[in-house]
């Protein structure tokens, strides 16, 4: 099947390389190119879209900056594949008090289905009362519980999403989304706030009810910009802190 070309793209107002990028993102998001699959060469893409090789290269550089692709010198360009390590490196912001990177372990406490509240529906861009997978887990550092986390994923996006409970998770959620459902997370927007620990959170984290926690509310989106996951992380910062690099 022939791909959409720049000439009939509805993005003429964008710079030419950005128009090409939009079309490449569309193909990745549709699953035409799978995670780990090698893309056609710059020359092949230039011929396909009737643009210069330099324009294609600039579009690919932008995609690489967005971590949608991986370019391997002398080998080729590949659709990015999540691994446990790179998912943590890209999206996990908690460090210890000396700014050293922390690697969490995770245990799922429960998984159930629930209807989206109005706030959850708004953040996930779904209708009110859309069924959601609701996952509750604890994340620990060196065996010490530190984060109480609730994860919400629209059931229509991943009808058969299932994670094992009461056992340490081997994969990050984003790896599961990509490998089982072909959904790649490329962007996350986080909002921070101070909250008081509920009785359940305090019990799980070994704190007193009402103890101060850092709340991180995150909406993660896929390559097409579609919200995929709402994650509420409530963190004990006695021995950790949040660190983000602003470019």
Kindly state the DSSP code that residue 235 receives in the 8-state scheme: E
- Mean pLDDT over 203-230 rounds to 95
Distance CA 145, CA 197 (A): 14
pLDDT at position 29: 77
Taking domain 84-242, whether its CATH number is 3.40.50.2300 is answered by: no
Is the pLDDT at 5 greater than 70, yes or no?
no
Question: How high does pLDDT run on average in the chain?
Answer: 90
Domain boundaries, the chain: 6-79, 84-242
User: Are 9 and 16 spatial neighbours (Cβ–Cβ below 8 Å)?
Assistant: no
37-90: per-residue pLDDT in tens? 899 999 999 999 999 999 999 999 998 887 788 888 888 999 887 776 666 667
Beta bridge partners of 133: 113, 153
User: Are 222 and 161 spatial neighbours (Cβ–Cβ below 8 Å)?
Assistant: no
List Cβ neighbours of 161 (8 Å cut-off, separation of 6 or more): 133, 153, 155, 176, 180, 181
User: Are 141 and 237 spatial neighbours (Cβ–Cβ below 8 Å)?
Assistant: no
Distance CA 19, CA 10 (A): 9
Other beta carbons within 10 Å of 150: 16
- The Cα-based distances of 238 to 21, 64, 76, 144, 211 in angstroms read 43, 36, 45, 12, 11
Taking domain 6-79, whether its CATH number is 1.10.10.10 is answered by: yes
Beta bridge partners of 137: 108, 149
Tokens of 21: 């990028």
pTM (2 d.p.): 0.81
The label of the residue with tokens 């998984």 reads 111
pLDDT at position 89: 61
Does residue 61 or residue 244 have the better pLDDT?
61
Is the pLDDT at 2 greater than 60, yes or no?
no
């Amino acid at each position: 099947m022939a791909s959409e070309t720049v000439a009939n793209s509805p993005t003429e107002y964008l710079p030419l390389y950005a128009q090409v990028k939009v079309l490449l993102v569309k193909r990745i998001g549709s699953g035409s190119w799978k995670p780990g699959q090698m893309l056609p060469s710059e020359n092949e893409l230039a011929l396909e879209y009737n643009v210069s090789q330099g324009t294609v290269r600039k579009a690919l550089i932008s995609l690489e900056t967005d971590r949608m692709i991986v370019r391997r010198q002398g080998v080729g360009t590949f659709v990015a594949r999540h691994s446990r390590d790179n998912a943590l490196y890209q999206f996990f912001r908690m460090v210890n008090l000396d700014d050293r990177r922390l690697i969490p372990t995770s245990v799922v406490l429960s998984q159930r289905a629930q209807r989206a509240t109005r706030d959850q529906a708004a953040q996930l861009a779904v209708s009110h009362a859309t069924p959601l997978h609701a996952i509750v887990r604890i994340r620990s550092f060196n065996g010490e519980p530190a984060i109480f986390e609730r994860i919400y994923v629209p059931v229509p996006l991943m009808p058969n999403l299932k994670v094992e409970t009461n056992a340490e998770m081997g994969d990050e959620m984003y790896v599961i989304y990509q490998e089982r459902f072909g959904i790649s997370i490329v962007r996350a927007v986080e909002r921070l706030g101070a909250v008081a620990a509920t009785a359940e959170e305090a019990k799980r984290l070994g704190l007193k009810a009402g103890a101060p926690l850092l709340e991180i509310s995150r909406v993660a989106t896929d390559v097409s910009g579609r919200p995929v996951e709402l994650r509420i992380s409530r963190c004990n910062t006695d021995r950790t802190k949040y660190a983000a690099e602003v470019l």
